C-alpha cells in the first residue's frame, strides 16, 4: 500500500467529525502523523484517533475552542507539546484549516453575536492558525483551506456563513504568493452539499436531498470521503505544482441555469 505522506506531520482542525474526520483518516492512511483537533468533544476526537491507530496509523487529539480569543494560542500550545514529545521538534508539513460553523439564519435574522462568532471561527482563526503555523511548516509543505460552494452560489438561509467563506478564497491566493517563496503550496477545496451534521438539513431530509441532486451533474449527495480524496491529492506529491487554486468538489452543482 502506498504511503505518500510517510514521515510527514499534519494538523487538521475540526477533525472530530464530518469532513475533518475523513481528512484526518485519509492523511493518516497516507502515512502522516495526524493532530486531530477538536473544539468541544474530546470523546469524539478520541474515537477518531482510536480508529486511525487501529488501522496502523498514528494520531493524537488536541483541544482548543477557536471561538475564544486565545483559541489559536491554546491550539499551538497543545500541538507543540505533543509533537515535541514525539519528534523532538515542533515542525510539521501539512496544515488543513477545516474547522468552521454554519448556523442557519437569514440576513435579517442574523444577530451581531452570531456574526462575530462566525467571523472568529471561519475567518480570523484560519488566518491566525496559518500565520502561526507558517513559522512551523517545513519548506515544501502544504496548506489546504476548506472553503465552500456557497462562495459561488450563496445560500440565503445561511447569509453570514455564505458571506464569510469568501475571504478564505482570497486568503488562499494571497498566501500562495507569500508562502510560495518557500515552495509551500496553498489551496482551498470548496465542497457542495456533503452528508455531515452541518449540512443535515439538505443532505438528510429526503425532499431537500432530491432538490440538491436536481441541481447537480452527478446525482448523489456527496460524502466526506469525496472531499478527503481531493485534500489527500493536494497534500501529497501529486499536488506539488498546484497552488493558489480553489477546487470546487460539489458534484457539478449549479453548472447551468
Q: What residues are labeled active site?
A: 161
Q: Hey, which residues does 189 pair with through a beta bridge?
A: 146, 247
Task: Identify the DSSP state of 122.
Answer: I
Query: Torsion angle of alpha carbons 101, 229, 189, 148, nearest 10°?
Result: -40
At 139, give phi and psi (nearest 5°).
-55, 145
Q: In this structure, are residues 59 and 52 in contact, taking their beta carbons and an 8 Å threshold?
A: yes
Closest of 203, 169, 226, 209 to residue 19, by C-alpha: 226
C-alpha gyration radius of the chain: 17
* DSSP string over 24-82: HHHHHHTT-EEEEEESS-HHHHHHHHHHHHHTT-EEEEEE--TTSTTHHHHHHHHHHHH
Q: Are 15 and 24 in contact (CB under 8 A)?
A: yes
Residue with cell 460539489: 250
Give the whole-angstrom CA distance, residue 202 versus residue 140: 38
Residue 144 backbone dihedrals phi, psi, to 5 degrees: -130, 125
Give me the phi and psi of 138, to 5 degrees please.
-75, 150
Q: Do the beta carbons of residue 149 and residue 102 sit within 8 Å?
A: no
Amino acid at each position: 500500500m502506498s504511503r505518500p505522506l510517510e514521515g510527514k506531520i499534519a494538523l487538521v482542525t475540526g477533525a472530530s467529525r464530518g469532513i475533518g474526520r475523513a481528512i484526518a483518516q485519509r492523511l493518516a492512511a497516507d502515512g502522516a502523523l495526524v493532530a486531530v483537533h477538536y473544539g468541544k468533544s474530546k470523546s469524539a476526537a478520541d474515537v477518531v484517533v482510536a480508529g486511525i491507530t487501529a488501522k496502523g496509523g498514528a494520531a493524537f487529539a488536541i483541544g482548543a475552542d477557536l471561538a475564544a480569543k486565545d483559541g489559536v494560542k491554546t491550539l499551538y500550545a497543545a500541538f507543540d507539546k505533543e509533537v515535541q514529545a514525539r519528534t523532538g521538534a515542533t515542525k510539521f508539513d501539512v496544515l488543513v484549516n477545516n474547522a468552521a460553523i454554519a448556523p442557519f439564519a437569514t440576513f435579517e435574522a442574523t444577530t451581531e453575536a452570531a456574526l462575530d462568532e462566525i467571523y472568529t471561527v471561519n475567518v480570523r482563526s484560519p488566518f491566525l492558525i496559518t500565520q502561526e503555523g507558517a513559522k512551523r511548516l517545513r519548506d515544501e509543505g502544504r496548506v489546504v483551506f476548506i472553503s465552500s460552494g456557497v462562495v459561488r452560489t450563496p445560500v440565503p438561509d445561511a447569509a453570514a456563513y455564505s458571506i464569510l467563506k469568501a475571504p478564505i478564497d482570497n486568503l488562499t491566493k494571497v498566501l500562495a504568493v507569500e508562502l510560495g517563496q518557500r515552495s509551500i503550496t496553498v489551496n482551498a477545496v470548496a465542497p457542495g452539499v456533503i452528508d455531515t451534521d452541518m449540512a443535515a438539513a439538505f443532505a438528510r431530509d429526503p425532499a431537500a436531498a432530491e432538490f440538491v441532486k436536481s441541481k447537480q451533474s452527478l446525482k448523489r449527495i456527496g460524502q466526506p470521503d469525496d472531499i478527503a480524496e481531493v485534500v489527500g491529492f493536494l497534500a501529497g506529491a501529486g499536488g506539488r505544482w498546484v497552488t493558489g487554486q480553489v477546487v470546487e468538489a460539489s458534484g457539478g452543482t449549479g453548472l447551468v441555469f
